[in-house]
Structure 1
Amino acid sequence: MRKTKMMLICSILSGSLLFSSCIGSFGLWSNLKDWNQGLGNKFVNEIVFLAFHVVPVYEVAYLADVLVLNSIEFWSGSNPVAEVGSIKTVKGENGEYLVRTNADGYTITKKGEEDKQLDLVYNPENRTWNAVAEGESFELITMNEDGTITFKQKDGTPTTVSPDLMGVSTLRAQNGSLFLATR
Structure 2
Amino acid sequence: MKRNKLTMAVVVLLCGSLMFSSCIGSFGLTNKLLGWNKGVGGNKFVSELVFFAFWVLPVYEISLLADVVVLNSVEFWSGSNPIADNTQQIKGENGHEYLVKTHENGYTITDETANKTFELVFDDSDKSWSVEANGQSTKFMTFIDDNHVNMYNANGETMTVELSKAGVMAYQDMIKNNTAVFACK
TM range (shorter): 0.5 to 0.7
RMSD, aligned CA: 4.3
**Alpha-carbon shift at residue 122 of structure 1 (Å):** 6.5
Indicate yes or no: 2:179 matched with 1:156.
Answer: no
**Runs of 5+ in structure 2 lacking a partner?**
1-15, 152-159, 173-185
Q: Is the 8 A contact 2:122 2:129 kept in 1?
A: yes
**Runs of 5+ in structure 1 lacking a partner?**
1-13, 142-148, 160-173
- 2:67 counterpart residue number: 65
Q: Is the 8 A contact 2:89 2:98 kept in 1?
A: yes
Residue identity over aligned pairs, in percent, reads 39
Bigger helix share:
2
The alpha-carbon distance between structure 1 residues 98 and 78, as it changes in their structure 2 partners (threshold 3 A), is: same
Q: Is the 8 A contact 2:97 2:113 kept in 1?
A: no
DSSP 3-state at the match of 2:25: coil
- In the TM superposition, what whole-angstrom CA distance separates every residue of 1:2-24 from its partner, at most 9, and x where no partner exists? xxxxxxxxxxxx979x6232533
TM-score by length of 1: 0.52
Larger radius of gyration: 2
DSSP 3-state at the match of 1:156: strand
**Which amino acid in the other structure matches residue 118 of structure 1?**
F
Structure 1 runs of 4+ aligned residues shifted over 6 Å read none
Q: For residues 158 and 138 of structure 1, what CA distance do their matches in structure 2 show? A: 15
Q: Is the 8 A contact 1:109 1:118 kept in 2?
A: yes
Q: For residues 68 and 122 of structure 2, what CA distance do their matches in structure 1 show? A: 26
The alpha-carbon distance between structure 1 residues 150 and 50, as it changes in their structure 2 partners (threshold 3 A), is: farther
Q: For residues 74 and 91 of structure 2, what CA distance do their matches in structure 1 show? A: 32
The equivalences for 1:6-45 within 5 A come to: 19-24=21-26, 26-40=27-41, 41-45=43-47
